[in-house]
Amino acid sequence: MTSTTSAQSQFSLPVFNINGTSPASIQDEYNNAMTTIRKAEQLLLNCTCHARDFQFQTYDRYLKAREEREQMLEQLRSVHDYCEVWYWHAVEPN
């Protein structure tokens, strides 16, 4: 497996040491978080956002709802990217 996040992602990452959390624990925790975020993303994608539900409003309202939905999905992707950087940092420590 290799990372799908940009190598230029800038997050504060730990330096693993004998007194801290083990890389294996970080791997497990962030892998679980990524799995849950992917499930949340899929569930949101499966939720209805259809123009027919905005038929008594202007079309702009529907377009705004679609844009808001895309923004929420992008936020989930950002959280996933954050978790993925931590995960790969634990898998491939420097």
Write the pLDDT tens digit of every residue in 18-34. 999 999 999 999 999 99
**Rounded Cα distance, 67 and 81, in Å:** 21
Instruction: Decide which of 92 and 2 is more confident.
Output: 92
Q: Is the pLDDT of residue 65 over 50?
A: yes
Q: Is the pLDDT of residue 51 over 60?
A: yes
Cβ atoms of 54 and 61 within 8 Å: the answer is yes
Confidence (pLDDT) at 10: 85
**Rounded Cα distance, 75 and 41, in Å:** 10
Confidence (pLDDT) at 8: 45
Domain parsing of the chain, residue ranges: 23-91
Cβ atoms of 33 and 86 within 8 Å: the answer is no
Q: How confident is the model at residue 42 (pLDDT cuts 50, 70, 90)?
A: very high
Q: Is the pLDDT of residue 43 over 90?
A: yes
Residue partners of 3: CB distance under 8 A and separation at least 6: 84, 85, 88
Q: What angle do CA 80, 28, 79 make, to 5 degrees?
A: 10
Q: What is the mean pLDDT of residues 87-91?
A: 96
